[in-house]
Amino acid sequence: MTDQSEDGLIAKAEDQLEDSQVTVSSEEDALLCCHVCQRSTCGREGDAMELLSPCLCQTWIHRRCFDEWSKKVPLTRWEKMISSDEFKQGSFATGCFWLTAFGCNIKEWWNADGATKLWLLLKYLGIALIPLATLGLFCAVLFALFHLWPLVTRCCTVKPKPPILKSVRRREADAAERV
């Protein structure tokens, strides 16, 4: 009996999708519920109720709903979707991890006092600025080596005195006079 009611819900959800009348009560529910059956239950990885993100549209779908949809769509269209660059499959856990990590940091920021906010700001800026400062230092060293080094060597080198040239003919004439 549950299979028939679930199939009915899936068929009803598909009809709603075709009519583009799917409404979700809040933005959080839209992030965490299946796009087809509108349930927010999530199973383990590999389970039929696992929430997947099969494309770049930022919506979630149960593996079971996804499998049923892929059976109903013509194979040629399905093969084109899989072979395109836009097709990307991710799991619910990955998206949930990043959403939770960002949410915890915002909560920590709003509940902190002034000194903690300053410390957090410096910490987050440090995470972003340390690689940039390292890159800037590397570029400055390269600039110094290739552009400033010839200037330093030109200014600091001692040029040798030019050789003194003596006339050889004059020596021969002087030697002839002495004899």
* Domain parsing of the chain, residue ranges: 2-111, 116-156
Contacts of 36 (CB under 8 A, 6+ apart): 10, 13, 14, 17, 61, 62, 65, 66, 69
List pLDDT tens digits, range 108-137.
666 767 777 777 777 777 777 888 889 999
> Is the model more confident about 162 or about 84?
162
Rg of the Cα trace of the chain?
38
Q: Of 138-142, 146-150, 167-171, which has the strongest mean pLDDT?
A: 138-142
List pLDDT tens digits, range 35-94.
777 776 676 666 767 777 766 666 777 888 877 877 776 555 555 555 555 445 555 555
> Is the model more confident about 137 or about 27?
137
